[in-house]
Amino acid sequence: MNALAAYNKGATGAGINLAVIDSGIDLQSQEFSGRLSSASQDVAGNASIADEGGHGTAVAFAAAGRRNGTGSQGVAFDATLTVLRADRPGSCASSGDAGGDTGCKFGTDAITKGVDAARAAGARVINLSLGGTTMPQSLIDAIGRATARGIIVVIAAGNDGSDNPDAFTSVASSAAARNLVIVAGSVGTNDVISSFSDKAGTGAAHYLTAVGEKVRAPNQSGAAYLWSGTSFAAPQISGAIALLAQAFPNLSGAQIVDLLFRTARDVGAAGVDSVYGNGVLDLTKAFQPVGTTSVAGSHIGVSLASNATLSAPMGDATVGSLGAVILDSYNRAFAIDLAGTIDRAGPQPVLAGVLQNRQRNLAMATGDMTVSLTLAPRANGDIALQRSMMTDTQATTARAIAGAVTQRLGEKTRFGFAFSQASGMIGAQIAGQTQPAFLVAGQTGLGFDGIARSAGALRQEVGGVGLTATIETGDVTARRDALLAGLSPYRRSGYDRVTVMADKRWGGLATTLSLSNLREADTLLGARFDGGLGAARARSWFVDMDARWTMGAGWTLGGSWRHGWTDAALRGGMAGSGRLTTAAFAADVGKNGVFGRDSFGLRIAQPLRVARGGIDYRLPTNYDYATLTVTDWTMQRLNLAPQGREIDVEARYRVLLGRGDLQTNLFWRRDPGNYAALPADVGGALRYTIGF
């Protein structure tokens, strides 16, 4: 029944009263020492509860035999046993053999007394490894009194190999049962119905199987036998009930029955069927969260698989542990390390997004106005208006118009706006700034995947200093875990960015200083936090400094530096916040006219990376079943600074050749995506461009 998962969670059956109505028990056995309830009694007129046939001892052992590291053990090995001997006096001793019970007879009056005695003793489950004809009303009423207290009754299906269980089990479908009666069938260790076992048939809705073949247990003299029959499947189900009742004291009898049926292994025909009923008992599944899960002490849903996806600036961050208590749909408490549900985006190929095959760039200038568009072919060969400067992620998510318009207003004022282009591009265009044609190194942008929707810029020259203000709106993109029909493969959430920039030239030296504010609606530097880790929104400030020196003789030297501070706030009910510090840099050297009509450049860069910081969470760490409340909350840190540090080195060479120009780029990326364990990423591109 895969019980090891239950034992690993500390389930033993301790403190749970398990009643066995059978032929008594071996009073000399050490298997039950100290665990026999004082309410144990003979209910059939025998002299004591001492077993004469062996069946009762074997059944009690299968349910609750001790665990001592030797031989076999019962399912709920620490449970308290209420033994109710119900065999007709003398019937077991008269015709049974040493390992059997063929002579034992049980009167329904005695069984009725046993059910009432079990109820009075406070049993959580009553095991009836007995069978026969239809129950008399008196026994049905006794079972009704037990189920009214929430007591579960487990009855063996019978050993005739019939298509339907014994008539004795028909009480399971009666109103008196209150859906708290389980009919126990037998399977072998291969999950195939035993040849002797009565099948689910008319009792399928209440039928559950467990291994009832060759169950090792002692008889009334302590000798071990291999017992077979639905009588030995039933006590395993009863023991499983005791484990669940102890481990999850909030569960009612009805919930335990529902849980066992819901988590049973589905064998035979799909769903509840006429052979296996609800399936085969599986405690591993029963001891896992079932249904919807939430953070204890809240209504915040939590996933057992994925609650966050980190972005490239966070790389291989060793997030630490985030121990928390969650509740499943039965309000059972489970411990979980939420850090284990954090995914990482992983490094992405860098060339695919910047090389757009068969792309056509159109530019037009008239007076003080310039207009530019980018066109790219569709899969069918038609030309479509498409986004400029798209990453691979962007290129597969949408096809749309991309363009920019700039206009001069007088000598010192310019403005521009763009569609599907970032504000940095339009800002640089109206400021007359240029950058060397590197494909990989230093092309950080936001530092994570995003698509600009629109941007605007206004520039004013004041006393030799250019002041530029830009604004940009767009979407942060992240790949969906599972793609549903009709949905984009990417999730989007909005961002807004405002930048104020000052630029100044001193001869051949051009400098820029800018301050940016980035507001993300549902992400943190492109990372997504969902469910159990809350929904994060972030506001970032970035300071950027750029300088480019034209030294003469075709030589240029440039560099850029970025430092950022990001404040994260959780919403949706989760308590937590944090601050991240980020950094990026680039430096390059270039030469025009190395051999004539050509140019060469070399750049080293670090993309945006979290230098330090994380999110502090207030998480539930202890749950009290007595009050059904969280009793302890603990502040825990989610570290988002990676161990890896990506460094990009790229060389470029361009030469005018024929009607066009030939461009070559070679790059090397250490710790790609800020993953220290990954090998270096090496690549190159060769492009030939012809104007038209």
Cα separation, 189 vs 231, in Å, equals: 16
Work out whether strand 598-624 and strand 342-344 pair parallel, antiparallel, or are unpaired.
Answer: unpaired
**Structure tokens of 582?**
């980020």
**Cα atoms in the Cβ-side hemisphere of radius 13 Å centred on 409:** 9
Q: Is residue 183 part of a domain?
A: yes
Considering the domain boundaries, does residue 485 fall inside one?
A: no
Do 506 and 640 lie in a common domain?
A: yes
What's the pLDDT score for residue 454?
86
Distance CA 657, CA 644 (A): 41
- Domain membership of residue 623 (yes or no) is yes
CATH code of the domain containing 501: 2.40.160
In this predicted model, what pLDDT tens digit does every residue of 326-349 receive, in sequence order?
999 999 999 999 999 998 877 777
pLDDT higher than 90, residue 397: no
Q: pLDDT at position 331, please?
A: 95
Listing DSSP states for 346-414 in one string gives: ----SHHHH--TT-EEEEEEETTEEEEEEEEE-TTS-EEE--SS--HHHHHH-----EEEEEEETTTEE
Counted domains in the chain: 2
What residues contact residue 577 under an 8 Å CB cut-off, 6+ apart?
567, 568, 569, 570, 615, 616
pLDDT band at 362 (very low <50, low <70, confident <90, very high): low
- Specify if 547 maps to a domain: yes
Decide: helix, strand or coil at residue 532: helix
Same domain, 382 and 530: yes
- Do 84 and 194 lie in a common domain? yes
pLDDT(521) > 60? yes
Question: What's the rounded mean pLDDT across residues 658-681?
Answer: 92
356 lies in the same domain as 278: no
Q: Identify which of 70-74, 115-119, 556-560 has the greatest average pLDDT.
A: 115-119
Q: Which among 586, 592, 596 has a CA at the least distance from the CA of 667?
A: 586
Q: What is the mean pLDDT of residues 517-545?
A: 90
Considering only residues 481 and 464, tell me which one the structure prediction assigns the higher pLDDT.
464
Mean pLDDT of 301-330: 92
**Same domain for 136 and 276?**
yes
Percentage of the chain lying above the pLDDT 90 cut: 68
* pLDDT value, residue 449: 81
**So what's the pLDDT on residue 189?**
94
Q: Which structure tokens are listed for 692? A: 């038209």
Domain boundary among the residues 246, 262, 286 is at: 286
Whether the per-residue pLDDT at 99 is higher than 50: the answer is: no
3-state secondary structure of 120: helix
Residue at 422 is within a domain: yes
Same domain, 635 and 541: yes
Secondary structure, 3-state, 170-206: HHHHCHHHCCCEEEEEEECCCCCECCCCCCCHHHHHH
Same domain, 255 and 367: no
Q: What tens digit of pLDDT does each residue of 137-178 get? A: 999 999 999 999 999 999 999 999 999 999 999 999 999 999
User: Which of 236, 257, 286 is at the close of a domain?
Assistant: 286
Together in a domain, 281 and 357: no
Higher-confidence position of 346 and 388: 346
294 found inside a domain: no
Both 260 and 356 in one domain: the answer is: no
pLDDT at 364: 60
Task: Give pLDDT, residue 383.
Answer: 34
Domain assignment present for residue 569? The answer is yes
- Displacement of CA 523 from its chain's centroid (Å): 18
* The amino acid at 156: A
Tell me what the mean pLDDT of segment 399-404 comes to. 52
Q: In this structure, are 69 and 165 located in the same domain?
A: yes
Q: From start to end of 252-350, where are the E strands?
A: 294-295, 308-310, 323-327, 333-337, 342-344
Is residue 103 situated within a structural domain? yes
| 3 state SS for 8-25 | HCCCCCCCCEEEEEECCE
pLDDT at 692 over 80: no
Residues carrying an active site annotation: 22, 55, 231
Q: In this model, does residue 644 exceed pLDDT 60?
A: yes
Distance (Å, rounded) from C-alpha 239 to C-alpha 242? 5
* 13: CATH: 3.40.50.200
Q: How do residues 405-414 score in pLDDT, each as one tens digit?
A: 767 777 788 8
> What is the pLDDT confidence band of residue 382, given thresholds at 50, 70 and 90?
very low
Taking residues 72-80, report their average pLDDT: 97
Instruction: For residue 650, list its beta bridge partners.
Output: 603, 667
Structural domain that includes position 621: 351-477+491-690
| Banded pLDDT at 393 (limits 50, 70, 90) | very low
Same domain, 216 and 77: yes
Last residue of a domain, one of 261, 286, 311: 286
Same domain, 35 and 134: yes
Answer whether 25's CB lies under 8 Å from 57's CB: yes
117 Cβ contact list (under 8 Å, min separation 6): 19, 39, 41, 43, 82, 84
CA distance 32 to 29: 6
Kindly tell me if the per-residue pLDDT of 480 is higher than 80.
Answer: no
Q: What is the value of pTM for the model shown? A: 0.82
DSSP letter, residue 679:
P
